[in-house]
Amino acid sequence: MLLIAVLPAMVQGVMDNAVVNYLLWVFIVIAVIYFAVLQFWVLVRTRRHLSEISKAYDEIDTQRAELQLRNKDLTDSLNYARRIQAALLPAEHHINKIFSDYFIYYRPKHIVSGDFYWFSERNGKYFIAAADCTGHGVPGALMSMIGLELIQKIITGMKVDDSDQILLTMNRELESAFFREESGKALIRDGIEMSICVIDRRTREMEFSGAFLPVYIVRDDKLIEIKGDKKNVVQSFAMVSFNRSTFRLQKGDILYLFSDGYADQFGGPENKKFMYRRLRHLLLTISKYPLTDQERIIDETIVSWMGDHDQIDDMMILGVRPF
């Protein structure tokens, strides 16, 4: 009787366990399917994302190749422009016929330069000029080429001898080149800073005129500065004039003409400008060395000063021993 009474409960228990097991297995199967579907969905999304990344990288590679090609074309063009600019600058063999002892430190910021220099001789007079056009790179280089053509025309073609008149004539020529009568305005307002020396070989008398830029003369361990006017050579419609200073040179004197790029270069331990004070001290210190060595020291000094800093402007320094 007792067995008969317990049997239904045992059967019920077995059935309840079966249901629990069944539900557990169903839950496990559903969970497995869910995680399988989830993993498959994640895999699909990952593959899609990787495909998008791959396409993006392909586009980046394509763009990089295009930029490299454009950069090469631009660099090739600038290198060709540099050759044109170099052809306009006085050639070394030409300068050697005028001065036997000189150096030209010429360091463009971007391949081509807004700085230019000029050496020539006519009727027993030496002409030395250093100029800095507004800007650097391509705009500065184009202005420098115009300036080179003008100074050759003024000194060689028009035969202007006086230093102040050379600057004044260049000012007028720039006005003529860029002025447009219809609008009454200049197309370009860029200017040129320039220093120019005219030396009479017979009397050793030097005329100097400057548009912002000075000339340094080193004699007997002393540096003499002749300052220029505080105005640019620029296409101005107002009446302008430039001062003219005279100075009698002696045998062994060294002339230094330059643009402002060297003195304005940032560097040093405190990232400050080199400044004209340091430049004067440097030139005075190295003036006892041969001019070819001076050029090397000037380069080593500014490279050390710059360190990891970028060059901010074109640099040019001329050193000449006229007699």
Residue pair 192/142 in contact by the 8 Å Cβ criterion? no
- φ, ψ at 216 (rounded to 5°): -105, 140
Residue ending a domain, among 88, 114, 146, is 88
* CATH assignment at residue 132: 3.60.40.10
Work out how many domains the chain is built from and give that number: 2
Same-domain status, 310 and 278: yes
Does 265 lie in the same domain as 135? yes
Same structural domain, 102 and 79 = no
User: Are 93 and 47 found together in one domain?
Assistant: no
- By residue range, what is the domain housing residue 228? 89-320
Query: From CA 281, how far away is CA 283, in angstroms rounded?
Result: 6
Do residue 113 and residue 253 come from a single domain? yes
Sort 245 into a burial class: Cβ within 10 Å, 0-12 / 13-18 / 19+. Answer: middle
Are 93 and 38 in a shared domain?
no
Going residue by residue through the chain (323 aa), what tens digit of pLDDT does each one get? 554 555 555 556 556 677 777 778 888 888 888 888 888 888 888 888 888 888 888 788 888 888 787 878 777 888 888 888 888 899 999 999 999 999 999 999 988 999 999 999 999 999 999 999 986 678 888 889 999 999 999 999 999 999 999 999 999 888 877 765 555 555 566 689 999 999 999 999 999 999 999 999 999 999 999 999 998 887 555 668 899 999 999 999 999 999 999 999 999 999 999 999 999 999 999 999 999 999 999 999 999 999 999 999 999 999 999 99
Q: What is the pTM of this model?
A: 0.79
Distance of CA 62 to the CA centre of its chain: 28
Mark whether 36 and 120 lie in a shared domain. Answer: no
> Per the structure block, which two tokens stand in for 270?
């405190």
